[in-house]
Structure 1
Amino acid sequence: MTEPSRSAVYRLSMTTQGPLYPPSEVMNTDGDFVVIGTITRAQPDGTVAAVPGRAIVAADSPLPQFGSTLPYRIVRELPEKLSTEDEAMVLATLPLPLPCSNYTAVMAPQQQPEPFSVTRPSYPFHQAPIPDLQPEDGPKVTAPVTLGQWVKARGTLTVTLAEDSTAAEFRGEFSGLIPESLYTVMAIRRRDLDPDGPAHPSPLGVPNVFVADEEGNGRYRAVLPDPFPATDAPNSADRLVNFVVLWMSYQQNYGGAVGHHGLGADIHAQLRLDAPGFAEFTTRPRNGDGK
């Protein structure tokens, strides 16, 4: 019998995208989504396919129900090799309420119980109004963050099971990040992909923060209890399926929440697995009787 996997190394992909709606967690200063990840496109047979791609997508693209897809309205394609003009594109937060969003989960129910009532414009990343900031405090992100900077991000993730399979260690190594700025790490679990009952994504470890150094390098480590329960376990919905590195435009951490508003308003996915992963791992609760 083949011994089950105890450790694996994954390559993280650069992205601007969380879920498919809103299409991206990054905008440009024209108010369009900058999508690097998955593009929904109409097919000749009338179906909609979600395929890897890069494009500038209109903020008024058709919005389906959560769990369904409609074709994005493409403003223009983005080539794999960016032009000089595209490299210089200034990146921005999404406004509130979030445009083209059908994700109804409240990201921080204790801290921000009514997030959908908040109105806020889009801000260039370097001009996001950090709460209580004074100029003399020495903000570190003061120059525009460009698409050319963003696409330099690279990362690997090493996952190692504990000897008794009741926990797993996650170690991330990252480069090409926005220098001297705050990042957090988010867990995507099976329950977060359920169209009938969206739950808010959670931190992968608490605190889930690291700060990129002056060259844009960063490291992160966390140990999670029973992150990969079997598909027939009582807590199978808690199974971890993705690891996402988030840039924090407001340079804040939110404890047990990943953000107040999420999805491009105050968190911005930059690195993640291309597809749900970790299928080779199975863990169990420490007490042996489930959760």
Structure 2
Amino acid sequence: MANLSNSGMVCDCHIHSFFKRPAKTSGAYAPPLVDIADYAQEVAPLGIKRAVIIQASVDGTDNSRLVETLSQSVGLSLRGVAAINPETADLPALHAAGVSAIRIQDRARLGGSDLHTLPALGEVAAGLGWHIELNTEPRSFDDIASLMPKLPKAVLLVLDHIAHVDPDVPVDLQKLCRLMDTGRVWVKLSPTRVSRQIGHYDDLDTLVATIAQAYPDQCIWGSDWPHVMTKPPLPQIPPMLKLLQRVLSTEQYLACTWKNAEKLYGF
């Protein structure tokens, strides 16, 4: 169990930010009318000082909302992860705005997969010193393994939402570990899309502890705020941090919630 008497800094590596005003979007849900100021107010008492804004799927490859949000002063250090069309994206402007990674969607639930774009986007990421974030699931682990030799060696892959591993399916974890054994695959220990015990997360204790112990330098954490496509009651952030505090050592916790993110996103 982590002893955090001397800790008070956390980086949330997975949030989505929208606008208080209606905006044109397309996708599987209507964006909630919340913005980065709402998030900053909610997390101020929790010691969260840094956040990574992940471009929402409903924005497609339109990066305007992400860039506008990154420019706002809300008392947090911010970085961004963008979904891009490499033929039209203004990559230098995105980099200057604080974007440090490209996101690829690979979820059947969200209507399909863009995993085939991984090699080409890996070349783009390498040219900017970025990494790739994949919203993926175990059915794709073998495909990801086959594509990794086609990526520039400097490009890291970060798998969102613990790669949607089922804690009751050992082969999922085994295949994830084989990817992480390369040293080039990281995971976000974000519990809400994986746990069946929202608000407690006891069913993830063994899974999270196993990954963090084996790969302490390849784990980060994110809340998935404001929890779109989620039935109420919506998850709260303190129980997520309590999960990490419960199953990680102090060193593992500080690496997962602060040090690793600092290195990965260039804070």
Q: What's the TM-score once normalised by structure 2's chain length?
A: 0.29
Structure showing the higher helix proportion among its residues:
2
Larger Rg: 1
Bigger share in strand: 1
